[in-house]
Structure 1
Amino acid sequence: MALTHKQIQAAKPQDKDYKLFDEKGLYLLVKRSGGKYWRMKYRFNDKEKLLSIGVYPEITLAKARTVLNTSRALLSDGVDPQAHKQAAKATSKRNAENSFQAIALEWFASHMKDKAETHRVRAKRMLEVDLFPVIGSKSIQEITAPMLLMALRKTELRGAAQTAQRAKQLAGQVFRYAIATGRADRDPTPDLKGALAPTTTKHYSALTEPKDVGHLLVAIDSFKGTHTVKAALQLSALFFCRPGEIRHLKWSDMNHDEQRIEITASKTHQQHIIPLSKQALKILEELHPITGRSEYIFPSARGMSRCMSENALRVALRTMGYDNETMTPHGFRAMARTLLDEVLGFRVEWIEQQLAHAVKDANGRAYNRTKHLKQRTDMMQRWSDYLDQLKAQALAGNVITANFRKIK
């Protein structure tokens, strides 16, 4: 006689394990401990075997009977249900190990460890928010372009079209890593060319008119915040390196004998030299008694053991009246790039190399860090002198257009 829900619920543990039979080999094993386990007894190749189906009440009577019928169908096709279950479990485990999420996290650990902190955080967030919820659990081998597009469409729908484009690029890096490690055959991201909404590149706001730059420099010198933030703003204008590089500068990066700072550029990971002008040296000398106890030239206001926060310079500019649409910490780079070229007339390759861009020579090789160092050292001093001139003219209320171009 077939089991009923009432019989199963009423079954109590006894001194010994006992069985409640249903039909066609299905029974419920009631343990002395009180656990109730579904089992299926069957014969395969003239041998009696036992299939574990699951635990009641997680596996209901109806579900146990469904598994029973599926297993009997396998038997009729000459397939051992137990072997089929083990194979399915192995496949599930393999798929979990080769899931997009597992491989993406493996790629992240090996390829992002030397990247800037802000870049790592941004990439991790794109994985967790834009990609994992839709394709994270899927085997990377089975992910198609439409599946990936479904994930990216969700990002677009929340108004983040540029993030969707970046997430596509990030997914492409994961797929190419999977191909290189033998866990995928192809990268579906090229198939999505033109499928996402186009985005307009937004450049960092920057002041590039000499008169405006002069007023900015006067505002920085009049800044009422901490001396550390004020010095960071002053050196941002003189060094025009990336904001993250400014914040992470260490006193040990200074080569006092050569009067320069030697760092690794955060974006290109190449060795980079910043020649120190007389003005920059003076700022650093005045700052050392204040922050010299820290390894960082610009330590955090919350503790000398870490560098200045990411938003410190942006907030300082805002307090001086410069919002994100007018001037940003990154804007010092565009400011220098424009004025060094268009006003002072320095060679573009010198400027690009001092910006720590990946400049290449005629043979396609990256310039080494000391390429044109003498010329760049002269350029950095001329740049500091020019900024002093703009500041003096702003203070005098008489910023004029003059010929500051370098005589070649």
Structure 2
Amino acid sequence: MSLTDTFVRQVKHQGAEIGERYADGGGLYLRVKAAGKYWRMDYRFAGKPKVLSFGVYPAVSLAKARKRRDQAKELLADSKDPGEVKREAETAQEAASANTFRLVAMEWHAMRAKRGEAATTTGKRLAHLETHVLPEIGSRAIADLKPSEVLAMLNKVVDGGSAYTATRLREICGQIFRYAIATDRADRNPAGDLRGALEVPRVKHRPALTTRREFGEFLRNLLTYENCQPMTRLAARLAVLTWTRPVELRTARWEHFDLEAREWRVPAANMKEGKHLQAHTVPLSAQALSVLAELRALNGERVQWLFPGNHGADSIMSENTLNLLFKRMGYEGKQSHHGLRASARSLLSERGWSAAALETQLDHAERSKVVAAYARSEHLVERRKIMDDWGELVAAMESGDNVAPLRPAA
């Protein structure tokens, strides 16, 4: 006689040590114990008696147990052991659970951090992952993720008003998927299928003064502006004189400087994320060396950073420090920290320096490691002259001299 939903719901353990058994038919039965009610199925395979477990009531209803029994019988009809099929499925599920997007992403993130990335870079990337990506797809098996799922996650970021962040996250996810492929935990990169599927972010305008008159006035205002801490003013002057990227300035350590060689050797890990080709050498003018001497006298003997922050021994200057300074000076929308690079590039181009050397000094280098190394070496002599010329030009503009000093011979 078959079981009914009412009977299964109401039946109780009667005290038997192994529990009571109530048959439903086709080998399916309910085992009732003190600890609960369990669905089981007796069957034979290859002449041997076996037992298959279907789960616990009420999580598995009578109807669901019967469906699983019928599926097991179909496997038996195809000469397959349903118990072995179930074990293989559970093993695959365990493997998938052990390789979620979150697990692989954090493993990849830790690997990148160990390779010497700047702490600011790894911290910002982790914050983006934890804010936008992991809550949406972190629990999914990385091998099972589809392009549509990744796109849905990225579109939420776009809808939140951050198309640029969404584009950057697609690149990060692509790197994570490629790492999963390399470690045999995925077969494809669904993020790679999303090229062109996202809203194209507007190019971020980085204001820059590009005429000598305007930039000279800005430099003179910087020297005389009163609402400014000494270290912040020195940071701004070194940024002007070296035109490195903001992240490279903020993460500069004293150990990166060879003052005798008059060089600042920016480690690859401190450079723009995604480049990581090799260290970038910045020749130092006499004016830049003078700024470094002032910095050394101010705090160099007690800290490792050129520009330490206010939140502990290992903190560094905020990424917004110089932009806020320029804003207070009245240059919002006219001059930005990153825009100092464009200012120097424009003014030096007018003085006849080669575009190739200027691009190399800006670290707009070839992606190939071999070509990049050759270009840096090839232009270093000229770049030393460029930076000396720039130092003299900056000094002239700071003094209000309307006569531009002659550029050194190439």
Q: TM-score under structure 1 normalisation?
A: 0.82
Contact kept in structure 1, 2:118 and 2:251, CA below 8 Å? no
* C-alpha contact (below 8 Å) 1:223/1:320 kept by paired residues: no
Letter paired with 1:45: A
Once the two structures are superposed, residues 158-186 of structure 1 have per-residue CA deviations (whole angstroms, 9 ceiling, x without a partner) of 44333343333334334444444455555
Aligned pair in 2 of structure 1 residues 44, 247: CA closer, same or farther (>3 Å)? same
**AA at the equivalent of 2:92:** T
1:278 is the counterpart of 2:254? no
Counterpart amino acid of residue 202 in structure 1? K
Structural mapping, 1:95-134, within 5 Å: 95-97=96-98, 100-111=101-112, 113=114, 114-125=116-127, 127-128=129-130
Q: Cα offset for 1:295?
A: 0.8
Aligned-partner Cα distance in 2 for 1:251–1:53: 66
Provide the residue aligned with 2:349 in structure 1.
341
Choose which of 309, 312, 319 in structure 1 pairs with 2:318.
309
Q: Taking structure 1 as reference, are residues 9 and 290 closer, same or farther at Cα in structure 2, changes over 3 Å only?
A: farther
Q: Report the Cα distance in structure 2 between the residues aligned to 1:303 and 1:134, rounded to whole angstroms.
A: 34
DSSP-derived class of the 2:40 partner: strand
Q: Which residue does 1:243 correspond to in 2?
A: 246
User: C-alpha separation between the residues in 1 aligned to 2:367 and 2:51?
Assistant: 69
Matches of 2:367 and 2:109 in 1, distance apart?
A: 29
| 230 and 12 in structure 1: CA distance in 2 versus 1, 3 angstrom threshold | farther
Name 2:297's counterpart in structure 1: 289
| RMSD after superposition | 3.4
Residue 7 of structure 1, CA deviation: 5.8
Q: Hey, what does 1:23 align to over in structure 2?
A: 24
Q: In the alignment, residue 76 of structure 2 is paired with which amino acid?
A: L
Q: Secondary structure at the match of 1:93?
A: helix
How far 1:350 moved relative to its partner? 2.2
Q: Deviations over 1:127-158 (max 9, x none)?
A: 55555566555555555555544444444444
SS at match of 1:366: helix
Give the counterpart of 2:209 among 207, 210, 213.
Answer: 207
Is the alpha carbon distance of 1:161 and 1:403 closer, same or farther for their aligned partners in structure 2, counting shifts above 3 Å?
same
Aligned to 1:160: 162
Contact 2:365-2:372 within 8 A present in 1 as well: no
Measured in 2, the distance between the counterparts of 1:223 and 1:27 equals 87
Structure 1 vs Structure 2: percent identity of aligned residues?
A: 37
1:299 and 2:308 correspond: yes
Q: Distance in 2 between matches of 1:231 and 1:304?
A: 20
1:39-91 alpha-carbon deviations (Å, 9 max, x no partner): 33333333221222223443344433433333334334433221121111122
User: Secondary structure of 1:304's partner?
Assistant: coil
Match of 2:227 among 224, 228, 232: 224
Aligned to 1:71: 72
State the Cα distance separating 1:336 from its structure 2 match. Answer: 1.3
Residues 175-214 of structure 1: pairs in structure 2 closer than 5 A: 175-187=177-189, 191-214=193-216
Closer/same/farther in 2, CA of residues 13 and 247 from structure 1, 3 Å limit: farther
Structure 2 spans left out of the alignment, 5+ residues: none
Q: 2:175 aligns with which of 173, 176, 191?
A: 173
Q: Shift of residue 298 of structure 1?
A: 0.8
Tell me the equivalent position of 1:84. Answer: 85
Amino acid at match of 1:288: R
* Match of residue 331 from structure 2: 322
Structure 1: tracts of 5 or more residues without a match: 394-398
Change (3 A) 1:261 1:13: farther
Say if 1:96 and 1:102, in contact at 8 Å, map to a contact too: no
Shift in alpha-carbon separation, 1:223–1:243, aligned structure 2, 3 A: farther
| Residue correspondences, number | 399
Which is further off, 181-190 or 80-89? Answer: 181-190
> Per the alignment, in what secondary structure is the counterpart of residue 205 of structure 1?
coil
CA contact (8 A) 1:219 1:320 kept: yes
* Cα pair 1:359 1:367 within 8 Å, conserved: no
- Seen in structure 2, the aligned counterparts of structure 1 residues 227 and 56 have a Cα distance that, compared at 3 Å, is farther
Aligned residue number for residue 396 of structure 1? none
The verdict on how the C-alpha distance between 1:348 and 1:61 changes in structure 2, with shifts beyond 3 A counting, is same
Distance 1:182 1:300, change over 3 A: same
* Offset from partner CA, 1:371-403 (integer Å, 9 cap, x none): 44343223222212212222232xxxxx85868
Q: Deviations over 1:316-351 (max 9, x none)?
A: 33332333x333221111111111112x32222222
Aligned to 1:331: 339
Shift of 1:31: 4.1
Q: Which aligned pairs between 1:30-69 and structure 2 lie closer than 5 A?
A: 30-32=32-34, 34-69=35-70
Are the equivalent residues in 2 in contact too, given 1:233–1:313 (CA < 8 A)?
yes
Flag the 1:309–1:197 CA change in 2: closer, same or farther, 3 A.
closer
Query: Which letter maps to 2:249?
Result: I
SS in 2 for 1:86: helix
Separation in structure 2 between the aligned mates of residue 69 and residue 258 of structure 1, nearest angstrom: 81
SS, match of residue 37 in structure 1: strand
Q: Distance in 1 between matches of 2:226 and 2:41?
A: 80
Aligned amino acid, residue 80 of structure 1: D
Point out the more displaced range, 242-251 or 57-66: 57-66
Instruction: Tell me the secondary structure at the aligned position of residue 50 of structure 1.
Output: strand
Q: Any conservation in 1 of the 2:259–2:289 contact (CA below 8 Å)?
A: no
Which deviates more, 236-245 or 305-314? 305-314
Residue type of the partner of 1:355? L
How far apart, CA to CA, are the structure 2 residues paired with 1:7 and 1:360?
69
After TM superposition, give the deviation of residue 299 of structure 1 in Å: 0.7
Give the Cα–Cα distance (whole angstroms) in 2 for the partners of residues 360 and 132 of structure 1.
31
Letter in 2 for 1:353: T
- 1:5 positional shift: 4.7
